[in-house]
Amino acid sequence: MWDTAVFAFGTLFASSSQQNWVELALKFFPFVVFLEAPFFLLVTAGMVKYGLREHRPLRQREAYPRVSCVITCYSEGEDVGKTIGSLAQQLYPGFIEIIAVIDGALQNGPTLRAARRAQSLLAGTQRRSLVVLPKWQRGGRVSSLNAGLYIATGEVVMALDGDTSFDNDMVRNATRHFDDPGVVAVAGNLRVRNAKRSLVTRLQALEYMLSIGAGKTGLSEFNIVNNISGAFGVFRTRFLRNLGGWDAGTAEDLDMTMRIKQYFGRHPDLRIVFDPHAVGHTDAPDTWRVFFRQRLRWDGDMFYIFIRKFRFNLRPRLLGWRNFLFVIVNGLLMQLVLPFLIVAYTGTMLFTMPLGVVMGVLAFIYLAYLAALLFYFLLYVVAVSERPRDDVWYLGFLPLFPLFAFVNRIHCSFSIMAEMFMKSHLDSSMAPWWVLRKTKF
């Protein structure tokens, strides 16, 4: 293998010496790097800024707002008990109202019964309550969230998945940001609970660290958080109700994030914060088949949100210049255009260059990305991670990550085309078809 690599690099340099500097630049520095390099530098600068600030002592809190945790449940079964139990045992002196909304309770009797049995988990706790709200007719995730929001009594409302558990300091870490009146939402940090089950869960655990734990920490420092996760979002209740709650359709998390940002242009003091120490643990797909099916929905929904629903709202007057530029570069170019550029670039090389040159170029790109990832990952472990000793063991999986990311980009282009031509968002597990097909978009 070493001889093959040496031959590939030798072929690359030999052929490059006979070409002009423009062709050489296109080989060694493909245009995709010029899109990703500024994003990489922005996030790393944000992580450094966060790391330096977090070493300062926190000021004493004067108030602990009442919190309503809306848990959307559909077919979690006994797992909903883990979610309720982790909320009941929070190290938070304020009041926590737990609202478990059982969607389609008629056909989800096991989940309904598990939620009702979880009442015993509150025994011996103070300032905790549990409300189990059965929705007999299934209406989807958005319907459950709005039902929970309607009866919520807290100043802060959390939108949580029924199969997600939380560190016992989560509520305390998430709610501290609302001491700032400009903060209207907090994005929570998600980790993969079943990371040890298979290779695909290990790689997703690493992806969550890099894209959520590291990425959103850096973006939060500049008030350009890209998304408030649907499994773990925290909101100022009054602001959320003024928005009218969640909107029907799929990708309700990105939809809500974009709707909140519509106010940033007129009210530049508003903020969405990400807290890497407000941690939730969720199960990720443990087979490649289920993983790609999930990403088919996620990546297709990005096109649905940015192009079908918000294409006329992507204006600096609404978003503010900072978030407008970020959505254009990160949302449109990097998420929707870049996958097709990567496919086109790779295909062009395969059909126009000798195999040895192609291997050399791909090897160079791989090593460049791996070196950047190594720096990025170590900075995350040192400056951001709340459990660095656990995370550092993922160094062994880092060499596989550029390949994992490349396959994801290729699959993303397929997912986007599925949404473009077949409107795949209308066939989603997030809501029944009769709900999705009545939505405007």
* Residue type at 252 in one-letter notation: E
Note whether 276 and 191 are within 8 A (CB): no
pLDDT band for position 427 (50/70/90)? confident
Cβ within 8 Å of residue 293, ≥6 positions away: 285
How many C-beta atoms lie closer than 10 Å to residue 340's C-beta? 15
* Average per-residue pLDDT for the chain: 89
Distance CA 88, CA 264 (A): 35
Neighbouring-strand partners of residue 128: 96
Return the higher-pLDDT residue of 294 and 353. Answer: 294
Distance CA 1, CA 361 (A): 16
What pLDDT, in 10s, does the model give residues 254-288?
Answer: 999 999 999 999 999 999 999 999 999 999 999 99
Distance CA 13, CA 7 (A): 10
Smallest Cα–Cα separation from 132: which of 162, 165, 98?
A: 98
Please work out, in degrees rounded to the nearest 5, the angle formed at the alpha carbon of residue 217 by the alpha carbons of 211 and 221: 135
- Give the distance from CA 130 to its chain's centroid: 28
The separation between the first and the last C-alpha atoms of the chain, rounded to the nearest angstrom, is 52
| Predicted pLDDT at 434 | 75
Secondary structure (3-state) at 86: helix
pLDDT at 24 over 80: no
pTM of the model: 0.91
| Predicted pLDDT at 31 | 56
Window from 52-61, 68-77, 238-247, 313-322 with minimum mean pLDDT:
52-61
Window from 84-88, 117-121, 176-180, 247-251 with minimum mean pLDDT:
247-251
Cβ within 8 Å of residue 61, ≥6 positions away: 176, 179
* Residue type at 56 in one-letter notation: R
pLDDT at 176 over 60: yes
Can you read off the two tokens belonging to residue 343?
A: 């496919």
Residue written as tokens 């008030």? Answer: 223
Cα dist. 139→74, 107, 111, 436 in Å? 10, 13, 16, 10
What pLDDT, in 10s, does the model give residues 365-399?
Answer: 888 889 999 999 999 999 999 999 999 999 999 99
Return the higher-pLDDT residue of 75 and 156. Answer: 156
pLDDT band for position 32 (50/70/90)? low
pLDDT at 137 over 80: yes
* Residue type at 384 in one-letter notation: V
How many C-beta atoms lie closer than 10 Å to residue 179's C-beta? 12
pLDDT band for position 426 (50/70/90)? confident
Return the higher-pLDDT residue of 324 and 345. Answer: 324
| Predicted pLDDT at 158 | 97
- With a pLDDT cut of 70, the percent of the chain lying above it is 91
Note whether 102 and 108 are within 8 A (CB): yes
* Burial letters 255-264, b for 16+ CB under 10 A, else e: bbbbbbbbbb
Return the higher-pLDDT residue of 424 and 228. Answer: 228
- Burial class of residue 230 (count of CB atoms within 10 Å of its CB; 0-12, 13-18, 19+): buried
